[in-house]
Structure 1
Amino acid sequence: MVSKKKIMTTMVTSVALASISFTAVGQVVPQLGSNVQATKAATSAINDYINNNNIQPVGITNQEGTFTQWNGYENGVGKPEGVVIHETATPGATAQNEATYFNREWSNIYTYVHAFVDNNEILNIKNTDYTVWGAGPTANAKFVQVELCEVSTTDAFARSVANQAFYTASKLVQYNLPFTPGVTVMSHNDVSKKWGETTHTDPVGYFANWGYSMDQFYDLVGKYYNQLKGTTSGGTDTTDTNSGGTDIGNSHNIRVKNSNGGFVKLVSFKDDGTAVPVEVRALANNTLWYTDQTKDYDGVTYHRVSTNEWVDNSYVIGNN
């Protein structure tokens, strides 16, 4: 929890680094196979509810915030060591509500995180190549940090933790990190116990209100991590016969980078088959995305990363 109690986390000296942040508001929806199962079975009523109701995480919306500190992690820019899990302790506030508050008040309350998650949205407000102020100086220098919003129904809680677990898994994959519970994924409670620089215990108490635990959350992270890494089998046929796309399975991940710009452009295809630029969305450089189809147009191969958003193969720098 990075609450509004004005608990100050140690600030580090600002470094005048050029921003390579999200230059456009963008959402890319994960194309996850609905039948893919985790290697380790989920063992909670909430995880069973997610599986039985085929709840899928939403896309990550990139909306650059107002945090003006651009400091690299202790190992360098773009080199986090894992993800810290928080919860907001603000019942009923949405991800956008929280982002608006922190964007306005961070310079007064001395806290900020990379993302807020609720049952409808994953809102990333700070480029995760750079640090934030959320869990004390040691953890701040090591981890991406994400806050879970408090909701009031079982369905909303299930959807929100699915979204938070997917965000967590996607960041591990993006930075080529292993999934090691308690090491590369930690609760704020774990951080407080390990380094003693904060006294927060979230999200343990909030999880417990729903009969949930960090171990069960780890199961869910593992499920999405395996899907994104392509280490599990199964899934539905995602061929889109209307668009002429070619199904390439449910375990194909691409890493993208625009060597001549700060972000990777996307295109969409009109009903007549022609490609048009997507003006308000883009992918961050050096990020990993799941793709389920390819399409050839005007001599160029495109990979689908959302329902009708495609990335030029020339931006693809490798598969994992």
Structure 2
Amino acid sequence: MNKKRLGLYALLISMMSAMFLFFNVKTVNAMPVNDYIISNKIQPAAIQNREGTFNDWTPYENGVGKPEGIVIHETADNRASAEAEYTFFNNNWNTVQTYVHAVADDTEIINMHNTDYGVWGAGPTANAKFIQIELCRTHTGDAFARSIANDAFYAASKLIQYNLPDTPGVTVMSHHQTSIKWGETTHVDPDTYFPMWGYSMNEMNDMIGYYYNNLKNTGSVYGGNGTNSPSNTPATNNANTINVANSKGNFVPLVTFDSQGNAKNVPNRALANHSAWYTDMTKDANGVTYHRVSTNEWVSSAYIY
């Protein structure tokens, strides 16, 4: 077969693949993606807090705990799940020089860096302003809808957590929009991925707004008929999740252990009251059981409820 025919054959295969993706979502959903999510009352996953290895604790431009909105990313990787992205970021951030606050796919939302501090995901200006979440690619219409529900729920929850308005293009931006506005990156996500599923950033804004209004007015994603609530309500869907609160203070203190096994208070970081955290290890010291919530940061069982 000559080169022209090979090229034409490759083009046809590419077009057929794109058509398959487009019609697959329509076949599975038989309606626009947002309508599918709402009519089926798809429940977003609970937000898991698993502090990763990223050790840059830079405040936002307005101070610690003062983000101005959220940036929506997508991975551009057809094979990566939220778990895979979590592992990749935490193993490679110091070499690839990028990190986000959270990753989401169709089954999980993993918050891997405290959203009171900035990350490295969209250029210096956006990094100093925004919480950032990475959306993983999926392969069926139903899975895509569930991933959108998770992404939108996270965004809406964080806007509410920080008492921010839901304003598309201002407090909610795509990575593409930050590239256009500040010119510090050339990324165009998620605008090259969404059309594969007949979707758009405008529709993502609509889904975020739907959840935002319901969560703010009723405390649930479906106006009192759903079970999810904002991210500062503890998640309890994981056997390794602990819910923490300090009845005598505004935050939950953390400790670290030195090489001799002595516990020392962490001076400049803590956990929010009534927050949920992933833990993978316990340690006993001086009659107290501690649960690990990051590489060498632990919380006393006295604060677990």
TM-score normalised to structure 2 length? 0.66
- Correspondence 1:153-192 to 2 at 5 A: 153-192=140-179
Which residue does 1:95 correspond to in 2? 82
After TM superposition, what 4+ stretches of structure 1 lie above 4 angstroms from structure 2? Answer: 231-234, 253-257, 286-289
Which residue does 1:236 correspond to in 2? 225
- Correspondence 1:7-46 to 2 at 5 A: 45-46=32-33
**Which structure's CA Rg is the greater one?**
2
- Correspondence 1:298-317 to 2 at 5 A: none
Which residue does 1:14 correspond to in 2? none
1:166-213, Cα deviation, whole Å (9 max, x unpaired):
000000000000000110000000000000000000001101111101
TM-fit CA distance, 1:260: 6.5
Match of 2:192 among 199, 205, 218: 205
CA distance in 1: counterparts of 2:77 and 2:42, whole angstroms:
24
Q: Which runs of 5+ in 2 are unaligned?
A: 1-30, 235-243, 255-269, 277-303
Q: What code does the residue aligned with 1:171 have?
A: K
Is 2:180 aligned against 1:193? yes
CA distance in 2: counterparts of 1:92 and 1:152, whole angstroms:
9
Q: What code does the residue aligned with 1:45 have?
A: P
Is 2:38 aligned against 1:51? yes
CA distance in 2: counterparts of 1:49 and 1:237, whole angstroms:
15
CA distance in 1: counterparts of 2:233 and 2:142, whole angstroms:
32
1:209-236, Cα deviation, whole Å (9 max, x unpaired):
1110111111110111112211699533
Which residue does 1:124 correspond to in 2? 111
Aligned-partner SS, 1:86? strand
Q: Is the 8 A contact 1:72 1:130 kept in 2?
A: yes
Q: What code does the residue aligned with 1:262 have?
A: V
Aligned-partner SS, 2:53? coil
CA distance in 2: counterparts of 1:55 and 1:134, whole angstroms:
29
TM-fit CA distance, 1:263: 6.5
Q: What code does the residue aligned with 2:74 have?
A: E
Highest RCO, 1 vs 2 (Cα 8 Å, sep ≥ 6): 1
The RMSD of aligned alpha carbons is 2.9
TM-fit CA distance, 1:88: 0.4
For residues 107 and 49 of structure 1, do their structure 2 counterparts lie closer, same or farther at Cα, with a shift above 3 Å needed? same
CA distance in 2: counterparts of 1:58 and 1:94, whole angstroms:
14
For residues 235 and 99 of structure 1, do their structure 2 counterparts lie closer, same or farther at Cα, with a shift above 3 Å needed? same
Is 2:249 aligned against 1:262? no
Which residue does 1:285 correspond to in 2? 272
CA distance in 1: counterparts of 2:223 and 2:128, whole angstroms:
38
Q: Which has the higher helix share?
A: 2
Q: Which runs of 5+ in 1 are unaligned?
A: 1-43, 239-249, 265-282, 290-314, 316-320
CA distance in 2: counterparts of 1:80 and 1:213, whole angstroms:
25
TM-score normalised to structure 1 length? 0.63
- Correspondence 1:69-108 to 2 at 5 A: 69-108=56-95
Q: Is the 8 A contact 2:250 2:273 kept in 1?
A: no
- Correspondence 1:54-65 to 2 at 5 A: 54-65=41-52
Aligned-partner SS, 1:116? strand
